[in-house]
Amino acid sequence: MKKILVSACLLGQTVRYDAKHLAVENTLLHQWIQQQRIIGFCPEVASGLPVPRTPAEISAGDGHQVLAGRASVIDRDGRNVTQYFIDGANMALALCQQHRIELAILAQRSPSCGDSHIYNGAFNRTLIEGAGVTAALLQQHGIRVFNQSALQQASVYLAGLEK
């Protein structure tokens, strides 16, 4: 049975920067939990960032550019926290490789977990196209990343993996 990596905050763990969660109430997710497919993970906490923590955004790029050394993750106080985000992404990838995970459901818009849109680095709530650092690294290794608004699509993808 295929395992699925899921952002810990989507499972109700209070690991977000504001010490809150983003728990998803969804039949599919409950079914996957019952089937013991789900592995929860928070890359930011795993790499050593505290809860709560100062919010951070990717400055001048997205996760792919961070991984290429062409962009940084800066918190709202101006502290460069890029290495935490890269370390967390590498830990997430290692976990996926350990469990042969090919599918992840990650929290949208996060500078780590966002799959397709992130904030623009100006802390003005403006979204741009792009992936967070963990999502980008998983994508680069062939792991399909969905967000919590696309669980039905994730289910179809999972069915295809298990044919």
Binding site for ligand SF4 (CB under 6 A): 7-9, 15-16, 42-44, 107, 110, 112-113
Question: By the 8 A CB rule, do 84 and 44 touch?
Answer: yes
Nearest to 58 by CA among 139, 127, 141: 127
CB of 42 to ligand SF4, least distance (A): 3
CB of 80 to ligand SF4, least distance (A): 17
At which residue do the structure tokens 């469990």 appear?
99
Given the complex with ligand SF4, which of 76 and 159 has the nearer CB atom? 76
Given the complex with ligand SF4, which of 7 and 120 has the nearer CB atom? 7
Task: Give the separation between CA 53 and CA 38, rounded to whole angstroms.
Answer: 26
Given the complex with ligand SF4, which of 61 and 114 has the nearer CB atom? 114
Task: Give the separation between CA 138 and CA 102, rounded to whole angstroms.
Answer: 9
Given the complex with ligand SF4, which of 15 and 71 has the nearer CB atom? 15
CB of 9 to ligand SF4, least distance (A): 3
CB of 120 to ligand SF4, least distance (A): 17
Query: Which three-class secondary structure state does DSSP give residue 18?
Result: coil
Q: Which residues contact 9 (CB under 8 A, 6 or more apart)?
A: 15, 16, 20, 21, 22, 23, 42, 107
